Amino acid sequence: MELKRRPDVERFLKSPDANIRAALIYGRDLGVVRDRGHALAARIVPNPDDPFDVAILTEADVADDPPRLEGELAAQSLMGGRRLVRLRLSNEKPAVDKAVAEALERHAAGELNPDAFFLIEAGNLERSSALRKTGEKAPACATIPCYEDEPGDVARLVRELLARDQVSLNNDALQLFVQRLPKERGVAKQEIERLALFLGPGSGVTATPADLEPFLGVEPEASLFDAAADAFGGRLADAQAGLRRAAQEGEGGPAAVRAIGMHLGKLRRTLTLAKAGAGLQEAAKASGVFWKQEREFLRQARAWTLEDLDRIQPEVLAADKACKTTGSPDRLIAERLALTVAGRARRLGL
């Protein structure tokens, strides 16, 4: 049973189906994988750290002693409660992948201890992975792929973690902070905790962008969001220079194309709201435009139309798909997309 929609995943993590004996949680962002693993483990057993009810294994344990995994899954709880076998994988090693897949298949079929729960936390698994294939086809296994957090997910995480220390950010400060956070959730959480200490736990403060300046320091010149704005503003040289600087800082072509797509989305929402009767400035704020970028964004919104955006949308989608093709020159694809967007913007008078 594969769970992809966020509501389905959250519902399962809060109240696992009694007929499910195993869960495979995997993805590139191990921070998200670990968070979901912790949440599920806490629902399966009262104390996920109890050695009497919980066995925690790694891929090294499986590689060194393959029969041990099935032995742990067949064992009964020493305290009489439900048993949890938690396996953490960091790399997709063929031998380990196959061994875990075989154990999962037997356990999901009820051949080992049917009252035990098998929780597997793994990194990114390719479609060819035997473990992934087994998890997806086993009715008694919940398979949860973890994708990179969307900006809305990150914003929610920031609000929730800061609220624990009774501090918060206003909307503009939240947007600024989210844009600057690392993509990996584990590292992002450390940054959020550091911000809470900076603001003062228990202070009740609601910080503004000005309040964050000493914490964030000078914004890096290489910004994919700035590069996207430059492209839609008709400044090709600035856009391509920004993309190249971002590449030097480790940002790949897919992220660059995504930034261009997000800027297009903001323009589309702004123009749609304006068409429905909202003021352009009001519509821009509702679309999440940061106050420092508002003047330039409104200049673009007055030049672009919904029809113009519809014409450019297929090229953004095509570039996104091309970037995800194995071996693709993703940086070149992103730069060509910026060239196309900037060319359209120039023809619109920008």
pLDDT tens for 266-314 read: 999 899 988 888 889 888 887 878 777 889 999 999 999 999 999 999 9
Reported as a single tens digit per residue, the pLDDT across 152-206 is 788 888 999 999 999 999 998 898 888 777 667 777 888 898 899 999 999 999 9
Residue 339 has pLDDT above 90, yes or no: yes
User: Are the beta carbons of 24 and 104 closer than 8 angstroms?
Assistant: yes
Q: What is the pLDDT of residue 218?
A: 44
What DSSP designation does 98 have? H
The DSSP secondary structure of 148-194, one letter per residue, reads PPPHHHHHHHHHHHHHHTT-EE-HHHHHHHHHHS-SSHHHHHHHHHH
Q: Output 131 or 52, whichever has higher pLDDT.
A: 131
Helix (H, G, I), strand (E, B) or coil at 207: strand
pLDDT in tens, 215-253: 775 444 346 888 999 999 999 998 988 888 777 767 778
What pLDDT is attached to residue 202?
92
What's the confidence (pLDDT) of residue 219? 47
CB 31 within 8 A of CB 186: yes
Domain locations in the chain as residue ranges: 6-146, 151-216, 224-347
**What pLDDT does 262 receive?**
87
Q: How far is CA 306 from CA 1, 44, 226, 286, 303, in A?
A: 40, 50, 22, 17, 10
Q: For the residues 133-161, what does the mean pLDDT come to?
A: 88
Residue 121: strand, helix, or coil:
strand
Q: Which architecture does CATH list for 6-146?
A: 3-Layer(aba) Sandwich (3.40)
pLDDT bucket at 23, cuts 50 / 70 / 90: very high
| Torsion sign across C-alpha atoms 321, 322, 328, 333 | negative
* Kind of pairing between the strands at 84-88 and 206-207: unpaired
Task: Considering only CA atoms, give the Rg of the chain.
Answer: 24
**Degrees to nearest 5, angle at CA 20 with 15 and 24:** 95
Q: What is the CATH number of domain 151-216?
A: 1.10.8
Residues 84, 15, 17, CA angle at the centre, nearest 5°?
75
Would you identify the CATH topology of the domain 224-347?
Zinc Finger, Delta Prime; domain 3 (1.20.272)
Model pTM score: 0.54
Query: Which tens digit of pLDDT belongs to each residue from 50-90?
Result: 888 899 999 889 999 989 999 999 998 877 778 999 999 97
- Lowest-confidence pick of 12-21, 72-81, 126-135: 72-81
